[in-house]
Amino acid sequence: MPGATKMQSSVLQVIFTSFVFLSSVNNGYAGTTSTFTRKEWPSIDIPLDNEAFAVPEGYNAPQQVHITQGDYDGKAVIISWVTADEPGPSRVQYGISKNRYDFTAEGKMTNYTMYRYKSGFIHQVLVDGLEHDTKYYYKIGNGESAREFWFQTPPKIDPDAPYKFGIIGDLGQTYNSLSTLEHYMQSGAQTVLFAGDLAYADRYQYNDVGIRWDSWGCFIERSAAYQPWIWSAGNHEIEYFPYMDEVIPFKSYLHRYPTPYLASKSSSPLWYAIRRASAHIIVLSSYSPFVKYTPQWRWLNEEFKRVNREKTPWLIVLMHVPIYNSNEAHFMEGESMRAVFESWFLKHKVDVVFAGHVHAYERSYRISNVHYNVSSGQHYPVPDKSAPVYITVGDGGNQEGLAGRFRDPQPDYSAFREASYGHSTLEIRNRTHALYHWNRNDDGNKVATDSFVLRNQYWASNRRRRKLRKNHLRSVVGPIAY
């Protein structure tokens, strides 16, 4: 049936071309404020005795297991877990066949107190020297309490390596959070970029703060034990509690969620970078000093120089406070970081900036406001092809509820916004194109609600695209319209 096949092919091409045409991120002024409303579950945390927080059976059984990338290029993971009864070994047995653990890695144990709460024994083990693109099985714990998991290492750094990231922010531990997490796990994404505000444990007082960090660790294990979550810190990680004489910022977070910051020459676990497949991911801290000459500023200045778009075409920035936001909630809170870093985002042609904080979803056009200064009247963002797309995904589902009051009218810089819970995925196809989806939690169902084709800021330029066309583009994505 060659005729039918040709026709089907043509139809598919028209559909795909339309998709590209309709959904490419161009600078237009047709922003959408979704009027969707849903029967929201109450924004209350799941009770501690719920099975969502189930602790594994057995004496000193490892709990709250999670992994993150352990090096710069994806050949290592940091595996972390908690034991409650006694320290036990900080040891990971691992290998490439199930039930056959040929290798062993040893790490360290830490713990901390928060008021009269004493944390369990927190284990952190760096497993390095791994092969790319390989499934590893690992085992932690002792005897009958031992537990086994697996993870898949990413492909080696390659400009055309496809990879699918998930993006989740402000997750918390409500029934809405559970819905987000379960929907994310159906997405097929391989790594989570987490935009800050993890457990919302700081909404509690005294010993309950630590207890809710523990429950959250159990809550995310279903995903985070099997694939890396790339962490960034939000305001709910600060935990400044003078009333109980606990004033060291990020105490719980830093003990529980290690990051590979040394691999990118950072001086703090709160800001760092990793490379994974075809992406270079920069994690910033909205709640650490970032103005000129601070360690974070100086580090970012150097890290941008290390970005090589010939090897990692996709440049992604992850932070907590959005720079462009049109919600009444947290409006303008990102302005100070915008004033410091926005010009660098343009200069280095960042593809996309993911943030959380605002409990709603919003996507910007490519816009910038670098011409504004305190003595200039040019204060409004303008279309800018060098600018990243700014996406806010603070809609994980925490107990503070949705941020439902958008500013009216919708500003020109805002392309799409909706106050619903959900998660996003960024599916990198090759060096020039990635597919982006925002998925709403629609009363228990997952509904793809906002989607577009993201063109790479470096490789999709006219000059490079022409150069590539013969060699790569047609062979990878077929004939498409521009």
Range 94-99 contact pairs with CB under 8 angstroms and sequence separation of 24 or more: 94/127, 94/136, 94/137, 94/138, 94/139, 95/136, 95/137, 96/134, 96/135, 96/136, 96/137, 97/137, 98/137, 98/148, 98/150, 99/137, 99/148
Nearest residue to 223 via CA among 250, 262, 190, 260: 190
* Beta-strand runs (E) in 57-140: 63-69, 77-83, 91-95, 103-106, 108-110, 113-114, 117-118, 121-127, 135-140
Q: How far is the CB of 453 from Fe ion (least distance, A)?
A: 29
Is 330 marked active-site? yes
- The pair of structure tokens assigned to 88 is 């036990």
DSSP 469: I
| Position closest to Fe ion via CB | 357
- The pair of structure tokens assigned to 449 is 């609600």
Instruction: Give the Cα separation of 323 and 337 in Å (integer).
Output: 7
- Per-residue interface string for the shown chain with Fe ion, residues 36-55, x marking contact by CB under 5 A: --------------------
166: left (phi over 0), alpha (psi -120 to 50) or beta: beta
Q: Number of residues interacting with Fe ion: please give it, by CB under 5 A.
A: 4
Angstrom distances, CA of residue 357 to CA of 33, 199, 237: 19, 13, 12
Q: Among 84-92, 132-140, 196-204, 262-270, which window interacts with Fe ion (CB under 5 A)?
A: 196-204
Q: How far is the CB of 286 from Fe ion (least distance, A)?
A: 8
* Beta-strand runs (E) in 251-398: 272-276, 279-283, 314-318, 352-355, 361-364, 367-368, 382-383, 389-393
- Per-residue interface string for the shown chain with Fe ion, residues 14-33, x marking contact by CB under 5 A: --------------------
- Give whichever of 234 and 397 is closer to Fe ion, judged by the CB atom: 234
- The pair of structure tokens assigned to 345 is 């985002």
Q: Is 227 in the site for Fe ion (CB under 5 A)?
A: no
Q: Among 65-73, 195-203, 247-255, 428-436, which window interacts with Fe ion (CB under 5 A)?
A: 195-203
Among 227, 235, 252, 286, binds Fe ion (CB under 5 A): 235
Say which of 330, 357, 359, 437 is annotated catalytic. Answer: 330
Among 68, 173, 175, 197, binds Fe ion (CB under 5 A): 197
Q: How far is the CB of 172 from Fe ion (least distance, A)?
A: 10
Q: How far is the CB of 197 from Fe ion (least distance, A)?
A: 4
Find tokens 């091409």 and name the residue.
Answer: 13
- Give whichever of 96 and 238 is closer to Fe ion, judged by the CB atom: 238
Q: Among 197-205, 311-319, 403-411, 469-477, which window interacts with Fe ion (CB under 5 A)?
A: 197-205
Q: How far is the CB of 199 from Fe ion (least distance, A)?
A: 12
User: Kind and range of the H or E element at 92?
Assistant: strand 91-95
Q: Among 74-82, 189-197, 269-277, 375-383, which window interacts with Fe ion (CB under 5 A)?
A: 189-197
Q: How far is the CB of 370 from Fe ion (least distance, A)?
A: 25
Q: Is 68 in the site for Fe ion (CB under 5 A)?
A: no
- Give whichever of 356 and 381 is closer to Fe ion, judged by the CB atom: 356
Three-class DSSP category at 402: coil
Instruction: Give the Cα separation of 230 and 212 in Å (integer).
Output: 21
- Give whichever of 45 and 197 is closer to Fe ion, judged by the CB atom: 197
Q: How far is the CB of 196 from Fe ion (least distance, A)?
A: 6
- Give whichever of 235 and 326 is closer to Fe ion, judged by the CB atom: 235
- Give whichever of 171 and 218 is closer to Fe ion, judged by the CB atom: 171
Instruction: Give the Cα separation of 391 and 352 in Å (integer).
Output: 7
Instruction: Give the Cα separation of 425 and 189 in Å (integer).
Output: 7
Q: How far is the CB of 357 from Fe ion (least distance, A)?
A: 4
Q: Please, which of residues 340-379 interact with Fe ion by CB under 5 A?
A: 357
Instruction: Give the Cα separation of 309 and 315 in Å (integer).
Output: 8
User: Kind and range of the H or E element at 222?
Assistant: helix 207-224
Give the phi and the psi of residue 106 in degrees, each rounded to 5: -110, 145
User: Kind and range of the H or E element at 6?
Assistant: helix 2-23
- Give whichever of 197 and 427 is closer to Fe ion, judged by the CB atom: 197
- Give whichever of 158 and 400 is closer to Fe ion, judged by the CB atom: 400
Q: How far is the CB of 195 from Fe ion (least distance, A)?
A: 9
Q: Among 47-55, 110-118, 227-235, 336-344, which window interacts with Fe ion (CB under 5 A)?
A: 227-235
**C-beta of residue 397 within 8 angstroms of C-beta of residue 368:** no
- Give whichever of 191 and 235 is closer to Fe ion, judged by the CB atom: 235
Q: Is 234 in the site for Fe ion (CB under 5 A)?
A: yes
- The pair of structure tokens assigned to 87 is 């320290």
Catalytic center residues = 330
Which residues make up the interface to Fe ion (CB under 5 A)? 197, 234-235, 357
